[in-house]
Amino acid sequence: MIDSQVRKVLFYIEEHEGVMPQLLAGVFDVSDRTIRTYVKKLNGQLEPAAHIHKARGGGYSLVVTDRDAFDRLVQASSEGGIRALPSTPGGRVSYLLSDLLCRTGWITLDDLSEILFVSRNAISGDLKQVEEQLGRFDLSLERRPHYGIRVRGSEMSRRLCLANNTLDSLMDVHADVDANRASLDAIARCVDEVIAEEGFQINSAAYQNLMVHIAIAVRRIREGCYVPMDAEHLEHLRSSREFAVAGRIASGIGEAFSIDLPQEEVAYIAIHLAGKQSLYVGPDDEDKGLVISDEVWNVVSEMLELVWDSYHFDLRSDLELRMNLARHIVPLTVRLKYRMHIDNPLLADIKERFTLAYSMALDSSTILAEKYGNRLSDDEVGYIALAFALALERQKGEAPRKNILVVCASGQGSAKLLEYRYRQEFGSLVDRVVTCDASHVDSVDMTGIDYVFTTVPLRCSLLVPVRQVSFFLDDEDMKDLRDLLSDVGLSGSLAPFFAPELFVTDLDVSDKREVIEGLCERVAECRKVPSDFCELVLRREELAQTSFGNQVAMPHPVQAVSDGTFVCVGLLRHAIEWNGQAVRAVFLVSVSKAKNKKLESFYRSMAKLLTNKEAIQKLVGNQEWGTLVELLNTFGM
């Protein structure tokens, strides 16, 4: 059967007799060599009905010797929605992954090279990425001289890897697209009918994935490939509610596709049902058979304990959070055990809007990875972050009281009058009120000060938000200051967490460990931290990634160890590789041991700064303290 890309070349030659090879290459954006490969492929498939002729020093022409046979051949290739061969390295990797997973026998690199019309070297390069993806599912490429390559691993792993590849991976490279769509529709009808009658809850984001898993199962069963399962495991699954639901679905699938599904295949469907339940039940819903074991409850406790150690946010007594996490972890353990993938369409928004919650989820997910032997994907971390985000919203309550510095023109008497006025007007919103005159501002200890209110312009620059107000507060001043002190519309101030002595530039380093050790050494010189501070940061780095793109990494200790929250900034001379990301700006964060509700606004403001492409480019391009101060004032308020 003629591939669609090659068929297009055939039609072009038929319509443009004598077309030169160079022109063909330009039309299809390929090399002359590829065009010659296409023509060779066509001549092998068209014989004896037709062939492509090239005149000496001239172009290509189509010579048809049997018109009826030629028309039948072209018609056969046109029917069934032929899938075009990939034209990019990424497309070839996906194609090769699907092709090799569905093969039971050997195939040589030369054969793959001929199928995809690329060089053997290109195939070898693509296979390195194929092997990386196979490894995530305990699969590997087996090589044998004179035989070629094939995938080695269990049938379960093959199916999971196929489903994780893409939706298109369930379709054979020469399959009928319409037929596959009809198959998915038939599967959906079987599943919808059963889960509706059984009242079985399933996450809508996971529904399409479930269809793909079952479609792959149908295809593999037709090819004689079944999922093996030991008797003990099968017997354990038989007692679950999911197995009963899966049995009804399997019965419908068997009837719709005229196949027999043994008990092992029913168990396979049950596993996927168990791994794709809803994240949370609604207020009017029941848990309907969802059993939260002591093991899961203890895992949740460990996760919340880690959040307390790392961030000093005490969520340990939040029963709703515990229940939401436990409900989610029950099906999550199934997905982790069998390496099942689930998409999270809200992931980008979660990372941007709930940065602190996502960071908590990322850290606490290491407990799950250690317990169940599989690292969580970003999609899974995102779902856990939603639970933390809900808990943080509930914790907000009353805004913490602020410490302020009030500056007047001169005189202790007027300063005391101002202090009395601010306490009278904003007593419930302020804690400590410090006063001074304008000439002594630069000598005031700014530790713990949230805002500076001044009745006169200040000549010095402060790393704390400054607001100029009238001596006798008018109505507009009163409203603005009340909103400011109560955090209405406030993102949080970043400046108090940074200092010139913790700003390091032009670092000439080769890897992330060298950066971390250098910044930790600077921190030890300027701040009171434990002797194992660097080890705590490196240990956290081993547990989960701290590079989030945009040339930025944000390492931090595995637990809160400093008296106050601070950030040590390291700007690199050249980008280095950091967990697969290129990094030039490193923000080493140490969170205060004290319980601090200001941390949420701190992380929210940090997220705005660190994800802003123009801001980070400006900082690494102009590595000056003044540049950072400017950005902190922009993104901190």
More confident residue, 399 or 1: 399
Helix (H) or strand (E) holding 572: strand 566-578
- The sign of the CA dihedral 286, 290, 295, 301 is negative
Residue 354, C-beta contacts closer than 8 angstroms, at least 6 positions apart: 385, 386, 388, 389, 392
* Domain 402-485 CATH superfamily: Response regulator (3.40.50.2300)
Q: Which CATH architecture has domain 495-635?
A: 3-Layer(aba) Sandwich (3.40)
Quote the pLDDT of residue 82.
40
Instruction: Provide the CB-side half-sphere exposure for 567 (13 A, CA).
Output: 20
**Cα distance between residue 355 and residue 351, in whole Å:** 5
Paired residues of 407 in beta bridges: 436, 454
Helix (H) or strand (E) holding 325: helix 319-338
pLDDT in tens, 93-126: 888 988 898 888 899 998 888 777 778 888 888 9
Quote the pLDDT of residue 304.
94
Quote the pLDDT of residue 283.
39
Select from 627, 609, 598 the least CA-distant residue to 503.
627
Select from 585, 588, 601 the least CA-distant residue to 561.
588
Q: How many helices (H) and strands (E) does the chain have?
A: 25, 12
Select from 555, 553, 596 the least CA-distant residue to 578.
553
**Cα distance between residue 125 and residue 129, in whole Å:** 7
Quote the pLDDT of residue 411.
62
Percent helix, strand, coil in the chain (nearest 5)?
55, 10, 30
Summarize the confidence of residues 191-199 as an average pLDDT: 86
Is residue 70 scored above 50 in pLDDT? Answer: yes
Quote the pLDDT of residue 87.
64
Summarize the confidence of residues 589-600 as an average pLDDT: 74
> 3-state secondary structure string, 109-152?
HHHHHHHHCCCHHHHHHHHHHHHHHHHCCCCEEEEECCCEEEEE
Q: Which CATH architecture has domain 4-78?
A: Orthogonal Bundle (1.10)
Instruction: Decide yes or no: CATH 1.10.1790.10 for domain 177-274.
Output: yes
Angle, CA 636 vertex, CA 458 and CA 503 arms, to 5°: 85
**What DSSP designation does 279 have?**
S
Cβ proximity of 61 and 18 under 8 Å: yes
SS3 assignment, position 439? helix
Is residue 290 scored above 70 in pLDDT? Answer: no
Summarize the confidence of residues 332-337 as an average pLDDT: 82
φ/ψ (deg, to 5) at 165 = -60, -70
Domain pair 177-274 / 495-635, same fold: no
More confident residue, 41 or 153: 153
What residue ranges do the domains of the chain occupy?
4-78, 89-170, 177-274, 294-375, 402-485, 495-635
SS3 assignment, position 480? helix
Amino acid at 216: I
Residue 424, C-beta contacts closer than 8 angstroms, at least 6 positions apart: none
Residue 288, C-beta contacts closer than 8 angstroms, at least 6 positions apart: 199, 200, 201, 281
**Cα distance between residue 421 and residue 542, in whole Å:** 52
**Which of the four CATH numbers 1.10.10.10, 2.60.40.1930, 2.60.40.650, 3.40.50.720 does domain 89-170 have?**
1.10.10.10
